[in-house]
Amino acid sequence: MRATDILRELLQSALAAQDIAWPAKTTIEPPRDKTHGDLATNVAMMAAKAAKKPPRELAEALRQSLASDPRLAAVSVAGPGFLNVAFTPGFWQETVLEVGRAGEAYGRCAIGQGVRVQVEYVSANPTGPLHIGHGRGAAVGDSLARVLRAAGYSVETEYYINDAGRQMRILGQSILYRCRELLGETVAEPEDYYRGDYIKDLAKELIDQHGRTLLTMPQDEATDICRLHGEREILAGIKKDLTDFRVGHEVWFPESTLLAAGAVDAAFADLREKNLAYDKDGAFWFASTTFGDDKDRVLVKSGGELTYFASDIAYHADKFRRGFDVVVDIWGADHHGYVPRMKACVAALGRDPEASLKVILVQLVNLLKGGEQIAMSTRAGKFETLADVVAEVGADAARFMFLSRKSDSHLDFDLDAVTQKSMDNPVYYVQYAHARVKSLFAKAAERGLTVPEATTDLLARLDTGEDLELLRLLEQYPDTVANAARSFSPHLVSFYLRDLAARLHRYYTVNPVLTAGDEATTAARLRLLEAVAQVVRNGLDLLGVCAPDAM
RNA sequence: GCGCCCGUAGCUCAGUUGGAUAGAGCAUCUGCCUUCUAAGCAGACGGCCACAGGUUCGAAUCCUGUCGGGCGCACCA
């Protein structure tokens, strides 16, 4: 961050001296090949036209104007006009001081500028326990919220409870069916009902409370009792499962409150007024094709019932009414066909759908055990619940696994691998890096070592190749956080952490710390590793994973 | 049939939004523990970036087409 900023400023003023504007597509980044230096930029190629000079000639002029800066060790022109820049070791050593000063704030930035973002995630219907697929959405949403906060966004997290509509009615019917069965009645299985064991448990609880009156009261009333009890208990279970997974939503938003407040009717009226909705074939339609959807969508079915989409429109209107600038919806990837109509909805609300609505699709998880895939279906009651998985592998391993892939790619979650304490299980690799540093400090204390604070002079001892590799990586952490926030990709943080951990483990093997030979070198190395531990902690925190002191 | 996503090492995946000679981990093979945690490190092997065109100084990345896989295409959620 510091390095790219410094270089950009130097280049900008050099170009400005020649009346050349900063080309928009300029990149400044670490070159793939380390022998090219610390940073490479294509600025001369991008600005060549404006400068009316060949790229290499412009690059040479820029090189000369940079060469005098004391922070730069070398500047060279290469290839078609790349400018390769190396900073001095002293510059990199300062990074330890930077990390020390910022502490747990190291890596935060202000690119969010306080923009208000809402992240809505999980939002599973309260018709059954969360399964492992929900767990992935939970990990991605929670981590994304943390990343966005670190990048200076003002974030609020929310769970939308679909507590109105058909699925909940089926839940009530499913429970009532089990009640009857348990009370000795022979009844036909309802269609499309939920058959998991938890339904039977709920039925037993209701029988304890109400006994046979469930059979004698009007059926609608009995179904309602079942539905309400089921919803309350299942939702409580979901909250507990999420808490155990270290995921906490700030707002729990029930769909029913939208209906109660007349928000759906208000949304309809608004659409009608804008001429974006109409009656046809006894149904009420949203003209989503106006905004590029394939076809118009029904909001009120000809039978008078609302579609899900109807309350989704009201819900999103409500989100924007609450003042959010950007709304993030995290969905299962199988809902991707829903995106165009949701974008149309946002457009109809008078917002720019690209800027105001980010839909993050989370691919399904293949759960593997003993090399076999475990099939899942909520309705059939066959699934590995999130709670089971967390109990088996722990929240840390599960979260890290969920965040170790781009969210929209398939994920094989191998229960055997995740329980192994090996490289099949990267979470241990990263956590071990933290524990190793902590263990060194514990050892140092044991030996009665006093470790002087880091100073420029002391840090000058950090001059091996491994020192500089680590320092450069530490300096890249803020960029990683910024990139993760910009691209809504928390997995970038876990990739960075794996790199940093690898670098640390190598360092540990190659450079003795406590037995370095002289106290100053030992102290300098400890201060460096302390900074590494700080960054590992900060990064793991963005993933919601613990950084243990010992393993 | 139409739309979206995907195709990179034997396997699982990155690839900083168009940059220089393509990157990790696992697996396989070879080394490294009388010394700070071997839950580790080093090295080797491994590639027509699905295929064919195009755009330009430059393409795994952008465009078109083909093949292959996944998912959508409801007055279900």
Retrieve residue A271's tokens.
Answer: 């659409």
Query: C-alpha distances in angstroms, A401 versus A218, A243, A387, A418, A534?
Result: 49, 18, 15, 8, 22
Q: Which residue has the tokens 């999420």?
A: A242
Under DSSP, the state recorded for A454 is P
Q: What φ, ψ does residue A78 adopt, rounded to 5°?
A: -140, 155
Measured CA A33 to C1' B20 distance, in angstroms: 8
Structural domains of chain A sorted by starting position, each given as residue range(s) with its CATH number in brackets: 3-87 (3.30.1360.70), 166-228 (no CATH), 422-542 (1.10.730.10)
Q: Is residue A489's beta carbon less than 7 angstroms from any atom in nucleic acid strand B?
A: yes
Its pTM stands at 0.94
The span from the CA of A343 to the CA of A346, in Å, is 5
A191 touches strand B (CB under 7 A): no
Spacing of A423 CA from B13 C1' in Å: 14
Task: State whether the beta carbon of A33 lies below 7 angstroms from any atom of strand B.
Answer: yes
Query: Is the CB atom of residue A117 positioned under 7 angstroms from any atom of strand B?
Result: no
Does residue A34 approach strand B to less than 7 Å at its CB? no
Question: Is A505's CB less than 7 Å from nucleic acid strand B?
Answer: yes
User: Rounded to whole angstroms, how far apart are CA atoms A441 and A525?
Assistant: 11
CB atoms under 10 Å from CB of A68, counted, come to 8
DSSP state of A128: S
Does the CB of A46 fall within 7 Å of any strand B atom?
Answer: yes
Task: Give strand B nucleotides closer than 7 A to any protein Cβ.
Answer: 2-6, 12-27, 35-42, 57, 70-77
**CA A45, CA A116: separation in Å to the nearest integer?**
38
Predicted pLDDT of residue A376: 54
3-state secondary structure of A357: strand
Residues in chain A predicted with pLDDT less than 50, given as ranges, are: 378-381
- Protein-to-nucleotide distance from the CA of A480 to the C1' of B19, whole angstroms: 20
What 3 state SS string does A218-242 have? CHHHHHHHHHHHHHHHHHHHHHHHH
Measure A284 CA to B2 C1' (Å).
25
Lookup result for tokens 């002293």: A90
Q: Across A397-491, where does the E strand assignment appear?
A: 411-414
Residues 6 or more apart from A296 whose CB is under 8 A from it? Answer: A285, A286, A287, A288, A289
Do the Cβ atoms of A52 and A44 come closer than 8 Å? no
Rounded Cα–Cα distance for residues A493 and A330 (Å): 19
Cα distances from A500 to residues A72, A157, A465, A540, in angstroms, run 24, 29, 15, 12
Q: Write out the two tokens for A313.
A: 């429109």
Q: What angle do CA A114, A117, A120 make, to 5 degrees?
A: 160
End-to-end CA gap in chain A: 32
pLDDT of residue A375: 58
User: Contact A130/A387 with Cβ under 8 angstroms?
Assistant: yes
Spanning CA of A45 to C1' of B56, the rounded length in angstroms is 13
B23 C1': nearest CA residue: A32
Asked if residue A498 lies in contact with residue A424, where contact means CB atoms within 8 angstroms, the answer is no
- The per-residue pLDDT for A418 is 80
For A370, list phi and psi in degrees, rounded to 5: 55, 35
Closest nucleotide to A409's CA, by C1' atom? B6
C1' (B5) to CA (A365) span, angstroms: 15
Structure confidence at residue A133 (pLDDT): 85
Cβ of A334 near strand B (distance < 7 A): yes
- Short-list A423, A514, A529, A420, CA closest to A470: A529
B35 closest protein residue (CA to C1'): A515
Whole-angstrom distance, CA of residue A40 vs CA of residue A20: 20
CA A280 – CA A301 distance, rounded (Å): 10
Task: Give the angle A289-A290-A291 at the CA atoms, nearest 5°.
Answer: 85
Q: Which two tokens stand for residue A259?
A: 């209906």
Asked if A44 CB < 7 A from strand B, the reply is no
Say how far apart CA A299 and CA A264 lie, in whole Å.
Answer: 10
Nearest nt to the CA of A125 via C1' is: B77
Q: State whether residue A140 is helix, strand or coil.
A: helix
CA–CA gap between residue A479 and residue A111 (Å, rounded): 11
Residues (398-417, chain A) with CB within 7 Å of strand B atoms: 405-406, 408-412
Residue listed under structure tokens 């412009």: A58
The Cα–Cα gap between A336 and A4 comes to: 37
pLDDT score for A383: 57
**C1' (B9) to CA (A410) span, angstroms:** 20
Q: Which residues of chain A between 415 and 474 are close to nucleic strand B, CB under 7 A? A: 421-424, 426, 428-429, 432, 435-436, 438-440, 443
